[in-house]
DNA sequence: CAGTGGTCTAGACCACGAT
DNA sequence: TCGTGGTCTAGACCACTGA
């Protein structure tokens, strides 16, 4: 039982919605019927439907039934970006390359100490990278990692995906992130490295990422030209 | 049984974490122990813990136990904005007022028809509002509603919270939203109405909102000065 | 009223991590 | 091996909806 039943059932129903067996705006069979049809208990059906509801694919209402809403991408023609992981996973490793502008170790400023919840004597890596997509300059990243959580970082690793290194080599798992998005105008750095014209709008994302242990592992600020890329968020109402 | 048990238990445990009975980095009692302590089945305990995990307050790992992570706001000193509802709910009704710049009905453009999934002959409201917080110009909103879904909109309603009208008077429930955030620079409108200086950075949020029925009810673009407010997102990793 | 989904139980077996 | 959380069952009662 590698894949749990509720997951298999969710996959099957998702597929039936996608292929039109359960068309949008229709009612799904009730949970008891589905339970018998899949040869499974009703709790298992409910768990499968809960998952689909949290994806925004269906909507359940007690006393009424379960509506099919259809794919979220039906609402617009954009598709939402799942952006928990980094640029490498979004664009595909073969499209992304990095140029390392700074790679230093130093004691954290008051701001960085605060963001990473560090003691004054705990050193941090300070990294500036220019990320390129298909050879085109795309994003400027300014990142801090606590040395104690990310030992053995090398120039080599910075050329690829740092997140892959954190996950695969250090076996660290991300617990969550808090992001703040804002607008700014291009300064010297963006003119020099992103081929911006001065005063052009720039989208800035500032984030703190923590591990499943609750320790903060990254504080970073990344900037890209607004004309190149925005930030898309899918928000499902769970009442 | 107005409030379900799993919710009451989640509230109680959240409180114990907050008050230090279960301090951060400690292990929670195991689910069987909690089940006996609360006089409840283990499934109910698990559902309570699932909720806390999705808030990022705890982290469960099979074979190990359940860690306390502590409040998310411990990760930074900002607090995340829960922004499903509008400005009125975020800032409090007594702080928000609106000035109506445009209030028209027209046939939708290709773009608007696409975003709202409308037929060419279905009219839409076109609304421009200047939202003020404590009397200060804060946000410029450009909004489209399909007439068929929002009958009887009046100038009066636009002065307050449209969302309150949709929920309380029309009994409509939001199913979800897709937002796209981007940066721009201030143009004539922002100079005139937001007291911006030309070329100042502006944060723009474009969104499509749909109902629990799957019908799209709003397409809007809102702009505010980047110096006034950013956009904050909390993202919990669910593997 | 009958039918829906929401909650809850008291068990059971499983996969995983540590010892 | 033992204890953990994850899954799953076969029932039960409830609140809500519509006819």
Q: Are residues A105 and A179 in the same domain?
A: yes
Alpha-carbon distance of A24 to B117, in angstroms, equals 14
Alpha-carbon distance of A202 to A193, in angstroms, equals 13
CA distance A193 to chain B (A): 19
- Give the closest residue to B34 by CA, choosing from B6, B2, B62, B63: B6
- Give the closest residue to B25 by CA, choosing from B64, B63, B67, B53: B67
Q: Are residues A92 and A56 in the same domain?
A: no
Would you say residue B74 lies in a domain?
A: no
Q: Are residues A182 and A93 in the same domain?
A: yes
Q: Are residues A172 and A193 in the same domain?
A: yes
Backbone dihedral angles phi then psi of residue A203, each to the nearest 5 degrees: -95, 130
Q: Are residues B118 and B201 in the same domain?
A: yes
Query: Using an 8 Å Cβ cutoff, are B85 and B121 in contact?
Result: no
Residue A78: per-residue pLDDT? 45
Q: Are residues B164 and B130 in the same domain?
A: yes
Alpha-carbon distance of B60 to A217, in angstroms, equals 19
Whether this prediction's pTM lies above 0.85 is answered by: yes
Residue B101: per-residue pLDDT? 96
Backbone dihedral angles phi then psi of residue B215, each to the nearest 5 degrees: -75, 140
Backbone dihedral angles phi then psi of residue A143, each to the nearest 5 degrees: -130, 145
- Of the candidates A75, A115, A182, which has its C-beta nearest B76's C-beta? A115
B190 to each of A37, B99, B220, how far by Cα in Å?
Answer: 58, 14, 17
Average pLDDT per consecutive 10 residues, chain B (239 residues; last block may be shorter): 89 93 92 95 96 93 90 53 62 83 96 93 96 91 95 90 86 89 95 95 93 92 90 83
Q: Are residues A209 and A121 in the same domain?
A: yes
Residue B48: per-residue pLDDT? 97
Alpha-carbon distance of A43 to A41, in angstroms, equals 5
Q: B235, B236, B238, B239: best mutation site toward chain A, by most A Cβ within 10 Å?
A: B235
Would you say residue A238 lies in a domain?
A: no
Would you say residue A73 lies in a domain?
A: no
A20 CA to D13 C1' distance (Å): 36
Chain centroid to CA B78: 17
pLDDT digits over A168-207, tens only?
888 888 998 888 899 999 999 999 999 999 999 999 999 9
Q: Do B213 and A67 touch (CB under 8 A)?
A: yes
Would you say residue B180 lies in a domain?
A: yes
A48 touches strand C (CB under 7 A): no
Q: Which residue of A has its CA nearest to B201?
A: A184
Residue A228: per-residue pLDDT? 85
B44 touches strand C (CB under 7 A): yes
Task: Specify the number of domains making up chain B.
Answer: 2
3-state secondary structure of B60: strand
Q: Of A44, A68, A92, which residue constitutes the final position of a domain? A: A68
Measured from the Cβ of residue B49, the count of other Cβ atoms closer than 10 Å reads 21
Residue A168: per-residue pLDDT? 81
Beta-strand (E) ranges in chain A? 58-61, 65-68, 96-106, 124-133, 136-146, 174-185, 201-211, 216-225, 231-236
pLDDT digits over A54-96, tens only?
988 999 999 999 999 877 665 554 444 455 567 776 667 778 8
CATH number of the domain where residue A13 is located? 1.10.10.10
- Give the closest residue to B172 by CA, choosing from B150, B200, B152: B150
Residue A10: per-residue pLDDT? 96
CATH number of the domain where residue A107 is located? 3.40.1410.10
Residue B1: per-residue pLDDT? 59
Would you say residue A237 lies in a domain?
A: no
Residue A84: per-residue pLDDT? 55
Would you say residue A74 lies in a domain?
A: no
Please write down the HEC assignment for all residues of A151-173.
Answer: CCCCHHHHCCCHHHHHHHHCCCC
- Residue with CA nearest to D13's C1' atom: B1
- Residue with CA nearest to C16's C1' atom: B63
Q: Are residues B114 and B41 in the same domain?
A: no
Q: Are residues B95 and B182 in the same domain?
A: yes
Would you say residue A88 lies in a domain?
A: yes
Structural domain boundaries enclosing A93? 79-232
Would you say residue B15 lies in a domain?
A: yes
Measured from the Cβ of residue B74, the count of other Cβ atoms closer than 10 Å reads 13
Pairing mode, strands A201-211 and B96-106: unpaired
Residue A148: per-residue pLDDT? 92
Mean of pLDDT values over A208-218: 91
Q: Are residues B60 and B103 in the same domain?
A: no
Q: Which residue of B has its CA nearest to A53?
A: B175
3-state secondary structure of B14: helix
Q: Do B69 and A214 touch (CB under 8 A)?
A: yes
Q: Are residues A94 and A203 in the same domain?
A: yes
Q: In chain B, which residues have their Cβ closer than 8 Å to the Cβ of A61?
A: 212
pLDDT digits over A116-173, tens only?
999 999 999 999 999 998 989 999 999 999 999 998 899 999 998 888 888 888 888 8
Q: Are residues A119 and A201 in the same domain?
A: yes
3-state secondary structure of A192: helix
A28 CA to C3 C1' distance (Å): 14
> Which nucleotide does the CA of B64 lie closest to, via C1'?
D4
CA distance A42 to chain B (A): 14
Q: How many CA atoms lie within 13 A of B158 on its CB side?
A: 22
């Amino acid at each position: 039982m590698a894949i749990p039943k509720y997951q298999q059932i969710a996959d099957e129903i998702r597929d039936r919605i996608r292929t039109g067996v359960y068309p949008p705006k229709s009612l799904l069979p009730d949970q008891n019927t589905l339970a018998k049809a899949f040869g499974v208990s009703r709790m298992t059906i409910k768990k499968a439907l809960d998952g689909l509801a949290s994806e925004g694919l269906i909507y359940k209402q007690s006393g009424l039934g379960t509506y099919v809403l259809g794919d979220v991408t039906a609402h617009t023609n954009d598709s939402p970006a799942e952006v928990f992981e980094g640029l490498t996973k979004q664009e595909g490793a073969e499209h992304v390359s990095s140029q390392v502008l700074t790679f230093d170790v130093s004691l954290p400023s008051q701001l960085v100490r605060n963001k990473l919840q560090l003691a004054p004597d705990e050193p941090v890596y300070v990294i500036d990278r220019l990320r390129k997509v298909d050879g085109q300059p795309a994003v400027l990243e300014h990142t801090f990692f606590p040395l104690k959580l990310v030992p053995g970082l090398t120039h080599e690793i910075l050329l690829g995906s740092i997140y892959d290194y954190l996950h695969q080599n250090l076996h660290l798992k991300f617990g969550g992130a808090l992001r703040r998005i804002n607008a700014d105008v291009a300064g010297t750095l963006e003119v020099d490295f992103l081929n911006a014209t001065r005063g052009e709008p720039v989208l800035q994302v500032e984030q703190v990422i923590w591990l499943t242990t609750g320790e903060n592992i990254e504080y970073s600020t990344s900037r890209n030209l607004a004309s190149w890329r925005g930030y898309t968020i899918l928000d499902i109402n769970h009442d």
